[in-house]
Chain A
Amino acid sequence: MAAKEFDIPKLPTYIEIPELNHGVMDGDGPFKSVEEFQKPLGFPGEKIDNWQEVAIAKMGELKSKYRSVQVFLDSCVKCGACTDKCHYFLGSSDPKNMPVARQDLFRSVYRRHFTFAGKYFPKLVGAKELDDDMLDDWYNYFHQCSQCRRCSVFCPYGIDTAEISMAAREILDTVGVGQKYCNQILGKALTVGNNLGLPEPALRDTLIDLEEEVEEDFGAPVKYPLDVKGAEILLITPSADFFAEPHIDGLIGYGKVFYQDGVSWTMSSYASEGANFGMFIGSYDIMRKAALRIRKAALDLEVSRVMVGECGHAWRVAYSFWNTLSGVGAGAQSSDEHAMRLQKQLDDRYPQPQHIIEYTHDLIQRGKLNFDKSENDDRTVTFHDSCNVARATNMGGIEGGQFILPRDVIKAVCNNYVDMERSTIKESTFCCGGGGGLLTDDLMEIRVKGAMPRMQALKEVEKNEGVNTLAAICAICKSQFSKVLPKFDFDPYMIVSVHQLVSAAIILDKPQTTNSSPDGQTDAEEPVIEAEETAETE
């Protein structure tokens, strides 16, 4: 692949708003999808003949199905407050990467076709036709948005460019102009069960290897069970956790926490993926299809809890959308058979779904885990709030819990923790630069440029506080940082999973006999045994 040469941005001492550089990020966008990947998702294999007509009709459909799209298209006053909030603009200086300008690629077409002023006075209100050039711009610039929603925090009306870029990508798919990276992955996730296309036997082998390795390294028979019927917890984690560095150290950590708690848990080979790229391409139906696999796994395995591993957008989909899409949650009406079937099975004393951080945090609070914090004394840690976790979810049911809990967990296992600059964390966090379906080599330029603001804040704490470890709870962030850290003169291995830090410090003694339920549910012993048997006999 002939990657385009580009300059890696210099890290300034503080983030400046760049001068506009028109067209610097102009281009063909990421690799286009082909028939093989389009067809299974129900999209045309190539750009269809009457694409304009179909695209406009789809736009009409989407704005009538999504209030966000309709309201956001109508409400922007072009105040400019969001213009300097996007990391891709700050890093690339291309004005079309300013959130409102990105929306305007879409809005100008909306105005032309759906508003009085745009139909009769297009020049006056900046209404434009959806021609080939515009479609190219859509494809290019809507794949330079990581749907991180930082702009939405700062807009006086909460206008969320992510919603617009999802809608744009759905229209693009509908006319046959899909993105290869996302759609190829979705094909695997929806047929094999995970984004890697790792079939059940390979997954099982990987986990057995992992068990051996962990036992060798830590001297405790920590299990990584697969497809154990009747386990208490079903863990849904991004498939990167099964093999990628540093992700796998996080998975090792989850296993150790479960082991120490003595709870029975399992993963599923049918639903071995936490990531849900259906969100990135904006398709409700596809996102739902992926979510239904998890529902099926939960029903088939008869678990009473569904838990989610460290993955940013997975947690968004799980926390905010699963209840809607597939009934994994609580509070369905009794007449709602679809949701009730599952919700009756799930244990309502726990949040459903629950994040692994919430689980570990709760065990720490209840004094169930012991740590040797000195194991992490070689580290000075800072935490990267992943956008989807930070801006679209909650943890622990307390306001701002998604910021508090991960920090609490890190501080419980590390002695040295510092935060990055306030305007670059929590709800204002800067995206890693690789989210939203951009984590592909053909988008390396925008990924590196978009990482600049995060790298700048990191550089500051590295210089001033001696930070040498960047912890995150998102598979995409971890992969992206591994790639871009060295480009900004950081050690690529400084990025770790939060549960890797937990893993390093946790003291493994015999699993406690009492079970983790708040009021001591006692029937969990058996599945543990069953878990071990299944893992060995198959």
Chain B
Amino acid sequence: MSTISIIFTALFYISLFIFIVGMGRKIYQFSVTPAPLKIPTAPTPLTQTGVVFRMIREVTLFESLFRSNKWIWLFGFLFHFGLLLVLVRHLRYFIPGDLPEIFLLMQPFKYAAFAMVIGLGGLLVRRIFVPRIRYISAPSDYLMLLMLIIIGVSGVIMTFTNNHTDVIMVKAFASGLVTFDWANLPTETHFLVHLFLVFVLLAIFPISKLLHVPGVFFSPTRNQVDDARKKRHISPWALKQEKEHAVKLDQTLGKDE
């Protein structure tokens, strides 16, 4: 194997490792942190089923964002939906051997890359030109978009221009990563850039705003059922305090009744 292939193979495992461990830790942290009070925001479902549907609408349609700002919604939706289709289509490289039939149907998904890049472009333009959004942006916010745009554009170049990479070789490399049967990868610059930035993205996932992905599911204002009067909801730390009468205000305000 060439040096560059060894480096990229190593980078893949390193970034994947960081991603899995980092996300695992973050999700664990989110899940063990108690939500001591009921704080769902209207329009609030009164049942668990209602909450599930609300969450599905938020994740698939970006419902709140739609009500909030049509432009951000449009660009955001183009980007994410495009990204989803592109990711699904990328599975072909990682599945060893012959592909199941349905992958033929996914052929048109390659156009999703345009949706993704247009969406990202729109978001970047807004970030630069809308003063309110510029005000709240840190360098990392621009970089994140730039990085995704470069990933998207380099992908488009490989798919739609004459700068194709050797797809057979890519498949051997990628499925080799899965089966630990490592192989060389093509070395065109735009492919290496594409791949490298994807690894970077994986690695920064748990330490950046990409945490919105697990975050949306853990958001108490969105995932709580509005049943505070019907069920007593109490967090472990509050229960402990209640049992032990351990509220520090006893000296100044007297004991609990």
Contact = CB atoms under 8 A, between A and B. Distances in A.
B36 A65 contact: yes
A170 to B, nearest CB: 13
A66 interface: yes
Interface of A: 17, 19-20, 39-42, 63-68, 70-72, 74-85, 95, 98, 100-101, 104, 115-117, 123-126, 149, 152-160, 163, 190-191, 284-286, 288-289, 292, 295-296, 299, 319-321, 323-324, 327, 329-333, 336, 338-339, 351-353, 390-392, 394, 397-400, 402, 426-427
A289 B41 contact: no
A83 to B, nearest CB: 4
A319 B248 CA distance: 25
Contact of A80 (B67, B130, B139, B228): B130
Contact of A65 (B34, B39, B133, B249): B34
Nearest to A120: B207
Interface string B223-257: 00010111111110110011100011101110011
Contact of B231 (A74, A84, A331): A331
Nearest to A43: B252
B222 to A, nearest CB: 4
Contacts of B233: 323-324
Task: Bin the interface of chain B by size.
Answer: 35 or more
B38 A284 contact: no
Nearest to B59: A156
B68 interface: yes
Contacts of A329: 228-230, 232
A139 B248 CA distance: 24
B106 to A, nearest CB: 27
Given A80-B133, A426-B42, 9 more contacts: A65-B33, A68-B39, A80-B130, A115-B207, A117-B204, A124-B139, A125-B139, A319-B229, A332-B232
Interface in B33-60: 33-46, 50, 58
B20 interface: no
B136 interface: yes
A155 B68 contact: yes
B166 interface: no
B30 A67 contact: yes
Contact of B41 (A66, A299, A391): A391
B69 A81 contact: yes
A348 to B, nearest CB: 10
A300 to B, nearest CB: 9
Contacts of B241: 285
A373 to B, nearest CB: 30
B257 A78 contact: no
Contact of B46 (A80, A83, A288, A394): A394
Interface of chain A: mostly helix, strand, loop or mixed: helix
Contacts of A352: 229
B39 A392 contact: yes
A292 B256 CA distance: 7
B39 A153 contact: no
A76 B37 contact: no
A160 B39 contact: yes
B72 A42 contact: no
Interface in B178-235: 204, 207-209, 211-212, 215-216, 218-222, 226, 228-235
- Name the 9 nearest CB pairs between A and B, nearest first: A75-B215, A126-B138, A158-B221, A154-B68, A80-B133, A427-B42, A331-B231, A81-B68, A158-B222
Q: Residue among B37, B58, B212 with the most chain A CB within 10 A?
A: B37
B163 interface: no
B65 interface: yes
Nearest to B45: A399
A338 B242 contact: yes
Given A65-B34, A75-B209, A77-B212, A324 B249 contact: no
B110 interface: no
A503 B212 CA distance: 50
Contacts of B135: 20, 95, 98, 101
A14 to B, nearest CB: 17
A83 B207 contact: no
A492 to B, nearest CB: 29
Q: Residue among A71, A323, A394, A399 with the most chain B CB within 10 A?
A: A71
Contact of A400 (B34, B43, B251): B43
Contacts of A400: 42-43
B65 to A, nearest CB: 4
Interface in B75-133: 76, 123, 126-127, 130-133
Contacts of A323: 228-229, 231-233
A286 B241 CA distance: 13
Nearest to B213: A75
Contact of A117 (B37, B40, B208): B208
B62 interface: yes
B132 A285 contact: no
B249 to A, nearest CB: 5
B219 A159 contact: yes
A339 B228 CA distance: 14
A402 B42 CA distance: 10
B232 A83 contact: no
